Structure 1
Amino acid sequence: MPSKKKIKSPQQVWESVSTIFVHFVESVFFTLGIIVAKHPWRTITITWIFVLLSCIGLLRFYIEKNPMNLWVPPESDFYQDTNWYINKFGSNFRFQKILITANNILDPDTLMTVKNITSEINALQITYENKTYSVKDLCYKVPVVKLFTSNGKRSDNNSSSNSVQNNNTENDYVDLTLWVDDEYYCNFLESFSLACLQYDILDLWENDPNVIKNLTKHDIIRKLNDVKINPVTGHPVDYTTLLGGIQRDESGDVVTAKSLLTTWYTHVNMSEVDLNEVGNLVGTEDWVSVPLAMWESKFLSKIIHISSMTKSYSIYFEAGRSFADISGESMFCELDKLYIGIALMFIYVVCAISRFNWVEIRLTLGSVGLLNVGMAYISAVAWCSIIGIPFGPVHSSLPFLLMGLGVDDMFVMNACWKIVTTEQSHKSLPYKVGLMLKHAGVSIIITSFTDIVALLIGAITILPSLKSFCIYAAIGVFFIFCYSVTFYVAVFTLDQRRIQTKRNGFLFCYQHNEEFPISTDITIFQKVLSKFYKQIVFTRPGKFISIMFTLMVTGFSIKSLLQLEQRFDPKWFIPDGNYYKDFLNAHESFYPTQGYPAVIFLGEMDYKREFPQLYNVVQTFKNESYVNDLVTWVEPFHRYVKTNYNRDLKNSSSVTNLEFNNYLSRFLNSPFGGRYQINFRFTQPLHCGSAVSNITASSLMFTFLKFAGPDEYIPAMNQAKKLIKSANITSGDGYRSVWSKVFANWVTDEIIAVEVERNIELALLCVMMCTVILITNLQMCLWIFICVLLTIVNVLGWMQVWGMTVDIVCCIGLELAIGLCVDYSAHVGHTFLTINEGSRNDRAYKTVMSIGTAVLLGGGSTLLSLSLLSMSKAYTFQSFFKIFLLVIIFGLFNGLIFLPVVLSLVGPDGYKAKEVKGSPFEIVELNGKCLEVEKEMNNT
């Protein structure tokens, strides 16, 4: 009887599929290696033609400078609210500040010095397009309503010094101007001039130097505590808020102060600004016109000169452009360190792949290894430009990431070449190159493919800059792989021909005599590595200590990971040792409670009908614990109408629409409500004596308190948004929201922790799937996954120990870390599977001896290229260095210590041998060794 065919188990089926797939990939790389080695010059030419053609895409190269398109999720409320703000209001402030400190700032001589400084600032002029600009042309102007006496108090006796506070009585809103005819009053009002909005204590004496120099300390203190109305503009001001380091007497009056803050408000029409024209390469510049940016530059130059001349007091200062300037400089001024790092790595690579004789010094091959990275970088930028992906500020670090990955591939090929030349030294060069690429190619494609997948997972983020960077990096890794197996292999073949003909490594035209010795012995480094593994790692105590040490470090890392905070402060972008950081530190010291300005935006609605709801919203906001300095037009307008017209706006039926519009017009043109004109936008311009037109937008202003961290400010932001959105307002377009400039950072902080956690989990899952597909051995894939997971956990845990937090910079670094830490364990795991001869312990030893050097050298090259970043003052580079250092340390340990130890104990069997026929060469793979049976197809 014929025997029944034995049914294979699922495991046997998987092993069969695994073997077929692995040998198919190996045969593809073997064939590719032979073709490239037979036609190296043709391969180089085709590669360069492709690179040059790709450069056409650089015609569409575009650098994104708009911070809204770099750091803010386009689906976020902040993004939508900012665009609404620009469309409806279009105006923004830029602040120019001077902070002066002394033992007692309330001194006549000091105030005279302040007067001299402010006079010089006000006299600054710049020329742009044949037009001259001073601060008077660039400032935000407010109407001058001088209905007050020279001492800054109201001319009527009903006013008190507390008139600007929220606890005003109805009598404080008696408008005496209503006693005169509207036409007469409006003509009188239109005769008033405009003045620059600024907070300057010298306004108390109307900036008159003759008055200031004759002041006494008593005069200064009395005026400072009594006057609450700006004598220059007539607007309410509490001058004590401009002081820091205050001491008060028993009655609460200020008697001494150690600092004085002077602020100029400059104006920007946001709708007319092109950030791609005025922005910087880091994407940190705010909306600014070209003339204002030029004036701010001159302002900084002037105040730097003034501060260098002072001795008796200290001057700190900032301009609207300070953050953008310093953050941009800190990013690009450190590039010289990176260039030195490249030079050091070049020397390192040449030493690693060379032998110390005139023939085997591989300067050309080392140069081509770095050139390979440059080609991949140019190709990535070109193709990303073709598909319309903008270039961002973080992308400047991309060459160094690609350099680490590209050099790793070179070391892997070099390690495989040593194995091939040892076992197949008598074979032809193309065949040996094919064998080298056969073994190295599978390992390289595993690491490259997993890197690409991990980066593409990062590209699903909603943060635009991170998404763009991950796409650039993924395409760059793809081209690194392509050029490594073609261009680099072609140059490698030519360099090997040079060595075979014994031509000099410096002067190619010079050929040494035939007796010139070629090194074949094992290097000292390999001997040390062999003793380290034989006598330490693979001993029983060594294995026990390695596993226990891994568990202990991982336990400590998990404990630290649970304490890792999610926090980001833009001040971290500002390095120490510059004027702006000094200003921030001084401002934090003297004004520690100053919060964050915010705005409540209201869209088009029936304001008369919805006024009761708006009034209730204001009352609710006043009672919120996170709100300070609520300044709205709602309460003052309500009191103004009730006091002067005896009508209660909280009862919407008590007034008609026309009456409401007339009241609002008079209020906004009165001494009480003139400062609220900035809070309204109408379909027609506001005109004194006429009812207002339909309100298209309005705003209410308040200040968030100073918060300790994201645990406080993120709930406060969300609660404020929820409160205004839940208001019972049914008419109009329904738009209402809360906006603050600082929300740009808070929104990122809110999502970055979720983004990091999600991306890491998805990247680990996809890396596991990729290794299953490419390595095909489930047990090995599990161990590689565990090594990657341990590395990530250790990196996150020791980030907390190092004082780092989770922010957008660390998020980018961790995206790269996932791809990088896969490489170390994947190379070792794949090599272990290709070795069938001997016990698990012997196979583990052969694995680390064959591929361990390449993995170690690859980690060392990445570390060396980034080593000088440790001396950088830039927060971005410091963070990258710390993360990559942790990745390299833990990745190498898990890949070269923990994984080999585990494999020596419970490692899986290797790939099965298979006979491959039908090509000019017949290859029989037995016990992991390649034996060639070379035959000529046309020879019997």
Structure 2
Amino acid sequence: MDALPEVQAAPEMACYELNLLDVWQDNETTIQGLTDEDVIKDVNAANTSATLGFPLDFIGLLGGVQTNAEGLVVEARSALTTILMEVNRTEVDMGDVGTGEGLSEDVDLELYEWEAQFIRVVGNDTGRPEGLNVYLQSARSYGEISGDTIVGDVFYLAVGMLLLFVYVQVMLGKFNLVETRPVLSLLGLVSVGMAVGVSFGLCSAFNVPYGPVHSILPLLMLGLGVDDMFVIVQCWNNLNVAERRKEMKERVGLALRHAGVAITITSLTDFVAFAIGASTVLPALQSFCIYCAIGIIALYVFQATFFVAWFTLDQTRMEKHRNGLLWCYTHKHWTPNACSQKDLCQMFFSEIYSKYLLMKPVKVLVLAVTAAVLGTCIWGVTNLRQEFNPVWFIPESSYLYQFISKVQYYYPESGEKGLVYLGALDYAAELPSISLLEDKMKSSKYISSVDSWYDSLVSYTLDTTGENIEGMAVNASFFGEILTGFLFSGEGGRFQQYFKFENDTIFPEPHVLASKLGYQHTILNTSSQRIAAMDQMKSFVDSANFSGFAAPIAAEYSNWETDKIIAEELIRNLALAMAAVFVMTLLLLASLISSIYVLLCVVLTLVDVMALMTWWGLTIDTVSCINLVLCIGLCVDYSVHIALHFLQIKGSRDERVRVTVKEMGPPVLNGAFSTFLSFILLAGSESHVFESFFKIFFGVFIFGVFHGLVFLPVLLSLIGPAPYSTGSAAPLDSENISSYSSEKMLVINGHSYTQHM
């Protein structure tokens, strides 16, 4: 065996570039003197970094390459530069770190700020030669851009909430100085904000993770909260003449006798559905469901106490003819104008919708349309794809999206990078296992390149000792000698960072605690390819049969793992949520048939929404999975209110449906439309989170309202269950119609006010 060469001094650890200019050692004078022929000749001949001395594939840094008849590169459309930076671990360990937004590991403040300057300087095209385009990314780019996109769209949420406030004010109040209700509308929305605050506060206190998708939670709370507000006010308006003559506290109690049951059923049903959803193994969905469950309970408490209390005060103000905005000012001899007493929504449901819906031809048409839509949507659901791509979270106009697009075009082999981590093995004895692993990785169609210290060590050993150790175990002492010489050679110096030694030193004998092997996947365009590549890589490591720790890891593997189980988890969570809906409605409605009908409406809405996802270009991913669970929380409300009110009315099925639609149609429609209004401005969002939210909730609004206000009433009119024994009798149609078209001045507790009769 030849003697090993003398170990050289360790090269200085520093940041370095993988750069085409390294062919000429980044020498500006040399580069300026090059001709085109010189460039072509030097690039084709270079195979070693002139700066660092280790082998480097310069041709691999080029994209859009064209070669001549001899196979030499004569033209390229792009050149890739990679800057590798050293993190100050001492500062990180001391807590002096950057935000790390979107990063896979902590970063020191200086490097974090350097990246910001890098983005600013390189992205500035001032003075750049015409026709030269520069595309860039840094470690902080993804999290920064995706976060800014979501935060930027929060402005549209704020505008949507303003529109919602105006709508709630218009629907709760009337167009006169006394019966307008801006304060009550605002306080109702404040109760929603309080519930969101409780959810965020409690979950944060118990360290429940918060993610970008949680930004849509306020919208869910708004949808549920505004729905409860409309139900409470509508039940107050539904009090008959005799009930309205009672004391205020008795009237409030009578209104809550119906409204309280309705909002309790919907709130508890939503709570249980989200609480069960929190059992998922998907961290993002689990966290979101916990936030939702706590928020729903808080919202229920605030609506039943805070909002009702303010509603009582506001109603007292109205009866004393005090100004709707300035409560201290009383309007003497006040009489409402006739226009303000007309409720167009109520008139529509009373005088038009409730009559025509129950005509036999209309019933047949509704059932036929429902069946046709269901059949079409079942076919649509079968085409729904399971796919997730983090690039969706960044807008196409961003510099990062353009960079990724160019890399995928010019470097089709440059996919996700990964590492195989090996623990404290007997490396001398397990070199054959490492060799076997590398051979399998190189033969994989999903792996474009392998960056291995083992191959270089084999070449180094053969060159320096004449021994060919490829695929062979060696003596431990010999391994220590060749590894030491290799890591301090020009060829192996760059692999020092691939090892972790005991006491952080290679001397006097290298005791390896851990090492890593690098690899790079090809660009994988589909979910099935990514999952297959990840599973194959895991099987390669397992089949190598290492005696200690060995595992592959890549930054995107967590997303690929999620992609692998997302469909199964979605089915599981939807099934559990719907089971929760059925059980809770059965317990709270105390009607098996009504519970089945409510569940049917939820299922039909889900099928229709999932089909809409297919046709609108959405896929099954974490965001859509969360939104579909939310879909259950919203669409169940539309059906439960109708089913409950139907059970509380006595009479024939058609009479009960007619009264139910008249009295509960307006709050259900107002609640649904107000939710739709709050997110309508997200239609043009560049954020995948908000774009998915808009598309799915648009479907919830359309199909949820259809099944709750069209299909369910028709179904109840045909095969609806019997009413509760304590239900109230359905009034005659003439009485119902007149109750919205005439007025009467009542005097209660010495105060006069206008009442619909």
Contact 1:612 1:649 in 2 (8 A): no
The superposition leaves residues 593-645 of structure 1 with CA deviations (integer Å, 9 ceiling, x where unpaired) of 31221111111121222222322222222222222212323334334435543
Deviation of the 1:563 alpha carbon: 1.4
The superposition leaves residues 665-687 of structure 1 with CA deviations (integer Å, 9 ceiling, x where unpaired) of 22323333333322222214455
The superposition leaves residues 341-399 of structure 1 with CA deviations (integer Å, 9 ceiling, x where unpaired) of 11111110010011222211111211111111122122223333444434443333222
Contact 2:163 2:677 in 1 (8 A): yes
Other-structure match for 1:885: 698
Map 1:254-273 onto structure 2 (within 5 A).
254-268=73-87, 273=92
Alpha-carbon distance between aligned partners in 2 of 1:881 and 1:229, rounded to the nearest angstrom? 53
Among 347, 362, 369, the residue aligned to 1:542: 362
Alpha-carbon distance between aligned partners in 1 of 2:284 and 2:98, rounded to the nearest angstrom? 15
Sort the Cα spacing of 1:253 and 1:425 in 2 relative to 1 into closer, same or farther, 3 A: same
Q: Does 1:741 align with 2:555?
A: yes
Sort the Cα spacing of 1:410 and 1:282 in 2 relative to 1 into closer, same or farther, 3 A: farther
Sort the Cα spacing of 1:454 and 1:642 in 2 relative to 1 into closer, same or farther, 3 A: same
Q: Does 1:409 align with 2:228?
A: yes
Other-structure match for 1:927: 729
Deviation of the 1:327 alpha carbon: 1.2
Q: Does 1:668 align with 2:487?
A: yes
Letter in 2 for 1:781: S
Alpha-carbon distance between aligned partners in 1 of 2:101 and 2:615, rounded to the nearest angstrom? 29
Deviation of the 1:271 alpha carbon: 8.3
Contact 1:369 1:410 in 2 (8 A): yes
**Most deviating of 528-537 and 211-220:** 528-537
Map 1:548-563 onto structure 2 (within 5 A).
548-563=368-383
Map 1:198-213 onto structure 2 (within 5 A).
198-213=17-32
Map 1:596-635 onto structure 2 (within 5 A).
596-635=416-455
Contact 1:280 1:328 in 2 (8 A): no
Alpha-carbon distance between aligned partners in 2 of 1:254 and 1:487, rounded to the nearest angstrom? 75
Map 1:36-47 onto structure 2 (within 5 A).
none
The superposition leaves residues 561-583 of structure 1 with CA deviations (integer Å, 9 ceiling, x where unpaired) of 11111111111111122322222
Q: Does 1:723 align with 2:540?
A: yes
Other-structure match for 1:442: 261
Deviation of the 1:590 alpha carbon: 2.2
Other-structure match for 1:496: 315
Alpha-carbon distance between aligned partners in 1 of 2:145 and 2:449, rounded to the nearest angstrom? 31
Q: Does 1:366 align with 2:185?
A: yes
Other-structure match for 1:804: 618
Deviation of the 1:283 alpha carbon: 5.6
Contact 1:221 1:254 in 2 (8 A): yes
Q: Does 1:776 align with 2:578?
A: no
Deviation of the 1:515 alpha carbon: 5.5
- Percent of residue pairs identical: 38
- Look up the SS of the partner of 2:55 in the other structure: coil
- Look up the SS of the partner of 1:895 in the other structure: helix
Contact 2:387 2:527 in 1 (8 A): yes
Letter in 1 for 2:588: L
Contact 1:285 1:324 in 2 (8 A): no
Q: Does 1:507 align with 2:326?
A: yes
Map 1:906-917 onto structure 2 (within 5 A).
906-913=719-726
Other-structure match for 1:695: 512
TM-score, structure 2 length as denominator? 0.91
- Look up the SS of the partner of 1:605 in the other structure: coil
Other-structure match for 2:297: 478
Contact 1:502 1:516 in 2 (8 A): no
Contact 2:432 2:472 in 1 (8 A): yes
Letter in 1 for 2:577: A
Among 227, 230, 248, the residue aligned to 2:49: 230
Alpha-carbon distance between aligned partners in 1 of 2:14 and 2:187, rounded to the nearest angstrom? 65
Alpha-carbon distance between aligned partners in 1 of 2:544 and 2:74, rounded to the nearest angstrom? 45
The superposition leaves residues 633-668 of structure 1 with CA deviations (integer Å, 9 ceiling, x where unpaired) of 333433443554354546867x43212221222232
Sort the Cα spacing of 1:751 and 1:636 in 2 relative to 1 into closer, same or farther, 3 A: same
Deviation of the 1:192 alpha carbon: 5.6
Sort the Cα spacing of 1:545 and 1:215 in 2 relative to 1 into closer, same or farther, 3 A: same
Q: Does 1:765 align with 2:588?
A: no
Sort the Cα spacing of 1:685 and 1:441 in 2 relative to 1 into closer, same or farther, 3 A: closer
Q: Does 1:241 align with 2:60?
A: yes
Among 814, 819, 822, the residue aligned to 2:628: 814
Contact 2:436 2:471 in 1 (8 A): no
The alignment covers a number of residue pairs equal to 730
Other-structure match for 2:747: none
Alpha-carbon distance between aligned partners in 1 of 2:237 and 2:379, rounded to the nearest angstrom? 44
Alpha-carbon distance between aligned partners in 2 of 1:276 and 1:544, rounded to the nearest angstrom? 69
The superposition leaves residues 682-705 of structure 1 with CA deviations (integer Å, 9 ceiling, x where unpaired) of 214455xx6633221122222112
Map 1:796-875 onto structure 2 (within 5 A).
796-837=610-651, 839-875=652-688
Deviation of the 1:755 alpha carbon: 1.7
Contact 2:146 2:393 in 1 (8 A): yes
- Look up the SS of the partner of 1:607 in the other structure: coil
Among 531, 534, 539, the residue aligned to 1:714: 531
Other-structure match for 2:565: 751
Letter in 2 for 1:670: S
Among 176, 195, 201, the residue aligned to 1:376: 195
Letter in 2 for 1:718: D
Contact 1:832 1:844 in 2 (8 A): yes
The superposition leaves residues 783-805 of structure 1 with CA deviations (integer Å, 9 ceiling, x where unpaired) of 00000011111111111110001
Alpha-carbon distance between aligned partners in 2 of 1:877 and 1:894, rounded to the nearest angstrom? 25
Question: Any stretches of 5+ residues in structure 1 without a counterpart?
Answer: 1-174, 914-924, 930-940
Sort the Cα spacing of 1:422 and 1:340 in 2 relative to 1 into closer, same or farther, 3 A: farther
Deviation of the 1:811 alpha carbon: 1.7
Q: Does 1:590 align with 2:403?
A: no
Question: Any stretches of 5+ residues in structure 2 without a counterpart?
Answer: 732-757
Sort the Cα spacing of 1:227 and 1:521 in 2 relative to 1 into closer, same or farther, 3 A: closer
Alpha-carbon distance between aligned partners in 1 of 2:669 and 2:57, rounded to the nearest angstrom? 65
Contact 2:498 2:516 in 1 (8 A): yes
**Most deviating of 766-775 and 671-680:** 671-680
Deviation of the 1:509 alpha carbon: 2.6
**Most deviating of 420-429 and 449-458:** 420-429
Contact 1:354 1:361 in 2 (8 A): yes
Alpha-carbon distance between aligned partners in 2 of 1:298 and 1:281, rounded to the nearest angstrom? 16
Sort the Cα spacing of 1:323 and 1:607 in 2 relative to 1 into closer, same or farther, 3 A: same
Alpha-carbon distance between aligned partners in 1 of 2:355 and 2:471, rounded to the nearest angstrom? 91
Other-structure match for 1:397: 216
- Look up the SS of the partner of 1:424 in the other structure: helix
**Most deviating of 262-271 and 334-343:** 262-271
Sort the Cα spacing of 1:576 and 1:422 in 2 relative to 1 into closer, same or farther, 3 A: farther
Deviation of the 1:768 alpha carbon: 0.5
Deviation of the 1:419 alpha carbon: 1.0
Map 1:267-282 onto structure 2 (within 5 A).
267-268=86-87, 273=92, 278=97
Contact 1:443 1:827 in 2 (8 A): yes
Letter in 1 for 2:488: N
Other-structure match for 2:609: 795
The superposition leaves residues 143-165 of structure 1 with CA deviations (integer Å, 9 ceiling, x where unpaired) of xxxxxxxxxxxxxxxxxxxxxxx
Sort the Cα spacing of 1:882 and 1:284 in 2 relative to 1 into closer, same or farther, 3 A: farther
- Look up the SS of the partner of 2:26 in the other structure: coil
TM-score, structure 1 length as denominator? 0.74
